[in-house]
A and B are shown apart, each in its own frame.
Chain A
Amino acid sequence: MSAGVLALPSGDGLRRIGQRVAIRALVGILVLLASATVTFFALKLTPGDPVRAVLGGPTANPSPETIAATIRELGLDRPLHVQYGLYLQRLVTGNLGISFSQRQPVVRVIAEQIGPTLQLTASALVVAWALALASVIGTTRRNRLLSALGSGLEAVAAALPQFWLALVLLAVFAFGLKWFPPQSRDGFADLVLPTLALAIPLAGFLAQVTRESLELALDQPFILSARTRGLSDLAVRLRHALRHAVLPGISLSAWAVGSLIGNAVLVEVIFSRQGLGRVLYQAVSRQDMPLTIGVTLVVTIVYILASTVADLLFVLVDPRIKAATR
């Protein structure tokens, strides 16, 4: 986006933004509480035996004393409402407990694994926007053939399953051409394929909604007036039409952050990347309550932050919204 797209808000605007953030924060806390509660009871209702999962699974032969000690240690001998109460109490103080399956504090597990996931999510979001804008600006209303080609490619991209794309990218660029490492190592090269696996389908989505609103925007009278002022086609698209066109894409991005973290599960497993996705998968399958809830809360927080940011971007990109809130 060129700098001309952004209009800096006035002092009054800043105060309004402050209010919006405060309301957001309050709603956010309620959402977190709801998310923690739902996860807690959902895991409790799932049939299963966490004690045995902790003790090594099918080929485990713990003594009765070991089992009793483990049940006590995990607090599973208490009534459900007591477990829930203790759990909320701990949560408020920021203590997420000890992971059953990873055998270390949940906060530490998350701290160790959140970096790679956020890195992947952020780079996928940036690359997805870059691909989407390139396709939309490059092809919309150029000529019928180019337009159809662009929109067709976007539809295909949006429909690609991430895990399938990941395997194809691996087969071609890692196994075949050997341009990139097949598994995660330190460095930039190992981020490329997982990013593309997540970014390409998302780019398809973003481009589809952006294209539609760009087409609408290009039909507006102010575009015609801009053109009559002698602006070049590209300038018209970038400075005037795009500002309207990106709005639905921005809302979609908040949702995309959540879905990227979800889809990261498969991509992290396929590329052997560290990350919260893999942790969450393992935690759920082992009924590791503290870890599952911890990761869920963190993902919820990321989602809340993303939608707050999207909200603010909305105001910055489209001053009409700010006017409407006055």
Chain B
Amino acid sequence: MKRISRRASVARGSTAIATLLLLAGGISQAAADETTPVKGGTLIYATDREPTCLDPHVDGDMPQVFIAQQYTDSLVSQDKQGRIGPWLAKSWTISPDGKTYTFKLRDDVTFTNGEKFNSAALKANLDHIKNPATQSSTAGGYIQQYVNTETPDEFTAVVHLSKPYAAFLEVLAQGFLGIQAPAALARERNVNCESPIGSGPFKVVKWDRQSEIVLERNPDYNWAPPTADHQGPAYLDKIVWKIIPEPSVRYASLASGDVDVIEAVPPESEAEAEQNPDLKLIVADRPGNPTNGNINITRAPFDDIRVREAFIRSADIPAALDSVFFGRYHRAPGPLSAVTPFATADFQHLYDHDSERANKLLDEAGWTERDASGIRTKDGKKLTVHIPLGDFQGPADRSLWEQIQATAGEVGFDVQLESVGFSEWLDRDSRWDYDVIGAYWNTNTADVLRIVLSSEFIGAAGSGGYHQNGTGFKNAEFDATVAKALETQDEAPRRDLYYQAQKIVASNFLQLLTYPQSTRLGVYKTAHGVRLEPSLSVTTLYDAWVSK
């Protein structure tokens, strides 16, 4: 309470000074914006969800990678164009068969516990992710091909894969595979969850559950990636990473300057934030498979492609997004969000709203009868679509599905939205007990198509323990295309293959695409230099500083 009033008076004071300076006419607006970073100070960051474990190797949920980005470095970096650059690895060579990666590592990096980063540390990390006891959710899809690491000398690591995997460098650039201190990883998993140790610009000093995580600057940091704006230690002394689940409270805390940066700005507040001269928005799509409804093609009625297309054509997604998200969210262009390497928007019109065509397709498919309430029937069976909605899917997502339900109802679908708890939702998902189910997958590589749609990921017998392919799509041509794309590092053939893959996906009507996942930050005027790390559009506070 005291702090609010002090902040308010400071704010008034600085506005008055800025006005005076402008009146004096000698100072340009740019200079008044304070562009020279100041060292020191605390930045208060507020997020909506608390990680369950701070070590990003365990589980694999988005809140973890946001915190990991502050305290770990990755082996390689990735820029906005998707190009891979050095980071903890200075350079690398890939064997002609694509199965052996030889990394030359930096020799000047230390973890914040004093351990040296070297080839043994890299080996410890890759082994840790692959180890079942780590309970890594990403290991199954991301480094399933990993076999082992040789360490011929202290700063050379030779990583062996069981088969060519062109997406390997891309996934290594993600914070989910951030590099941690071997001695810290050797501790019990749940201990490492709480006090992980990396070589990043900040270190985790305290985790007060359901309240905040405190990070402090790593004074020795001198190995920033080429994507960063500066070199050397971070500017901030300290970051307080607060957990504020209620969106309106989070936004009010930002608007009052009580926190400097918030994540997940509520869509209803975005227009207001743009009008507010104290605030700035940073919005970016995340790479990967956008938010969608996976259509279960393994059972009726969606085993018929005409019914799938009719369902997708019946939904007016742009209109639904406009009304639910106040015009702030845009429709996903295809099975890859626009910022994913090799994404194309060439097939987006296949998904356009067209109820006339939807009706025609349903007639063709034999769903010609209608019951008293306008639901189509065939052989006395109703055209029912079961969609489980988990309690973790917020009210906005629920409204979105209600709009889809309404427009699909117009052409004769009986859409049943079934509310279930988190673990029941997971259970329905794993038993294929749905016709459509909500999904998304954030990752920085087009190889995500293989994880969410190839036959390799349909059953527990494949790479994953649970099916990640939520559609049941089993198509030899598609499987071959995405597998072939992993065999070469050359951009042109990869682009061509992923183009083919996206074409196959679009023309099979497998997912009802809604909006790309996005990172939406609100920044108060006291915070500067807040950026998104390009590989996953995750916040990085390395270049950030505060003026207060």
Contacts and interface: CB of A to CB of B under 8 A. Distances in A.
Do A and B associate with each other? yes
Interface of A: 46-50, 52-70, 98, 101-104, 109, 112-113, 167, 170, 174-175, 178-184, 187, 189, 269-275, 278-279, 284-287
B238 to A, nearest CB: 16
Contacts, number: 185
Contact of B59 (A60, A178, A279): A60
Contact of B140 (A47, A63, A104): A63
A112 to B, nearest CB: 6
Nearest to B61: A56
A47 B427 CA distance: 7
B210 A49 contact: no
Interface string B44-71: 0010000011000011110000000000
A63 B256 CA distance: 46
Contacts of A104: 190, 194
B243 interface: yes
Nearest to A166: B246
A175 B252 contact: yes
B466 A272 contact: no
A183 B465 contact: no
Given A181-B258, A279-B210, A47 B190 contact: no
Contact of A275 (B53, B210, B423, B465): B210
**Residue of A57, A109, A187 contacting most chain B CB atoms (<10 Å):** A57
Interface stretch (B128-136, B274-282, B488-496): B128-136
B1 A179 contact: yes
A272 B423 contact: no
Nearest to A54: B135
B336 interface: no
**Residue of A47, A59, A286 contacting most chain B CB atoms (<10 Å):** A59
A39 to B, nearest CB: 15
A63 B132 contact: yes
Nearest to A101: B52
Nearest to B244: A272
A49 B430 contact: yes
B500 interface: no
A48 B52 contact: no
Contacts of A61: 60, 137-142, 451, 457, 463-466, 468
Nearest to B5: A178
6 contacts: A46-B424, A53-B423, A54-B135, A70-B135, A182-B249, A275-B210
A13 B232 CA distance: 74
Nearest to A71: B465
Nearest to B289: A59
B442 interface: yes
A53 B426 contact: yes
B439 interface: yes
B1 A189 contact: yes
Contact of B209 (A109, A180, A271, A287): A109
A131 B86 CA distance: 65
B248 interface: yes
Interface string B141-174: 1101000000000000000000000000000000
A47 B139 contact: no
A190 to B, nearest CB: 8
A170 to B, nearest CB: 7
B245 interface: yes
Contacts of B193: 103
- Complex A-B, nearest 7 residue pairs according to Cβ-Cβ distance, in ascending order: A48-B423, A60-B137, A56-B59, A65-B132, A67-B465, A56-B137, A189-B1
Contacts of B245: 269, 272
B1 A63 contact: no
B525 interface: no
A278 B246 CA distance: 12
A62 B249 contact: no
B137 A59 contact: yes
Contacts of B227: none
Nearest to A68: B132
Contacts of A287: 423
B210 A66 contact: no
Secondary structure class of chain B's binding surface, majority of residues = mixed
Given A66-B136, A112-B209, A272-B244, A103 B52 contact: yes
B113 interface: no
Contacts of B423: 46-50, 52-53, 285-287
B421 interface: yes
Contacts of A48: 421-424, 426-427
A62 B4 contact: no
A57 B209 CA distance: 20
B253 interface: yes
Given A57-B422, A269-B246, A285-B422, A62 B190 contact: no
Interface string B20-48: 00000000000000000000000000100
B231 interface: no
A58 B244 contact: no
Contact of A182 (B59, B190, B253, B463): B253
Interface string B164-190: 000000000000000000000000011
Contacts of A50: 423
Nearest to B193: A103
**Residue of A61, A180, A187 contacting most chain B CB atoms (<10 Å):** A61
**Residue of A55, A178, A182, A274 contacting most chain B CB atoms (<10 Å):** A182
A262 B60 CA distance: 31
B256 A178 contact: yes
Given A61-B137, A102-B209, A278-B210, A49 B426 contact: yes
Nearest to A112: B209
A260 B245 CA distance: 21
A292 B253 CA distance: 31
A62 B139 contact: yes
A53 B390 CA distance: 12
B27 to A, nearest CB: 31
A283 B328 CA distance: 33
Contacts of A69: 132-133, 135
Contact of B426 (A52, A65, A101): A52
Contact of A66 (B425, B451, B465, B468): B465
A115 B248 CA distance: 26
A93 B8 CA distance: 54
B61 A62 contact: no
Given A104-B190, A109-B209, A272-B246, A59 B422 contact: no
A224 to B, nearest CB: 50
A113 B189 CA distance: 22
A305 B139 CA distance: 48
Interface in B222-268: 242-246, 248-250, 252-253, 256, 258
